[in-house]
Amino acid sequence: MYLHKGNKLIGCVYCNEQNVTNYNIDLPIRMAFRTTFMHINGSKNKKRGLLTVLRTFAPAHFENGVWNNGGYCNRTSPLSEAEADFGSFDWQLRSIQLEEFERAKREKGEKRLFEILDVTRAMLMRPDGHPGDHWGNKWMKGYNDCTHWCLPGPVDLWSEFLLALLIRSQLGILTS
C-alpha cells in the first residue's frame, strides 16, 4: 500500500522497499479519517442540524492465526470485560478514530454536529457473533469468517444505539 500526499510518495505499508519509508497501518487510517473530517468541516453545506455520526471499528476475533493461515473463531459465548483485550490492534484503531473525531469537533463550524456511535468495547466482548466456519462459502472451503457478523446477532444492538443517538439529536441533547 503506497501512501501519497498530493502527488508525492510519502511512504508505504508492508512494502519494505529501499528509500521508501515503511509505516504501520495506523498512519493511513489516521490520514483517511482526518481527510474525511476536514472535508465535512470544510463543506459548503451549512444546513442547520446536519449530523455527522462516526461508528467506531468493530473487531475481528481470529484466534491462532488470521483468515488465510488457520485462524478461527469458534467461541459460543461472550467474553467478560476482564477477558476482552483492550490493548488489541482494534482498540488502537478505535483510539485513532476518537482522536481524529475529537480534533474534527474542535475545528468544526458553528452549524456542525458530531456524534459517535462507539461499538468497539461492546463488540470486543462478542467473539461468539461471527459465522466462523459456518459461512457457507463454496469457493473458499476451510477458511473461517471472523470479521463479519451473524444476523440476527450482536450487531442488531447497533441499530438500537443509532436510534437512541438520532432521538437525542432530534431532542437537541447531543454533546457537540
* pLDDT reading at 48 higher than 60: yes
Q: Which grid coordinates are listed for 56?
A: 467506531
Cβ–Cβ under 8 Å, residues 171 and 111 = no
Which position has the higher pLDDT, 101 or 110? 101
Tell me what the mean pLDDT of segment 86-94 comes to: 90
- Give the predicted TM-score (pTM) of the model: 0.82
Per-residue model confidence (pLDDT) at position 46:
63
Q: What angle do CA 24, 99, 126 make, to 5 degrees?
A: 75
Q: Which candidate, 1, 2, 132, 29, places its Cα nearest to that of 90? A: 29
Please report the DSSP string for 21-48 in residue order.
Answer: -B--THHHHHHHHHHHHHHHHH-S---T
Q: Residue 12: which H helix or E strand, with range?
A: strand 8-12
Confidence at 20, pLDDT banded by 50, 70, 90: very high
Tell me what the mean pLDDT of segment 115-135 comes to: 90
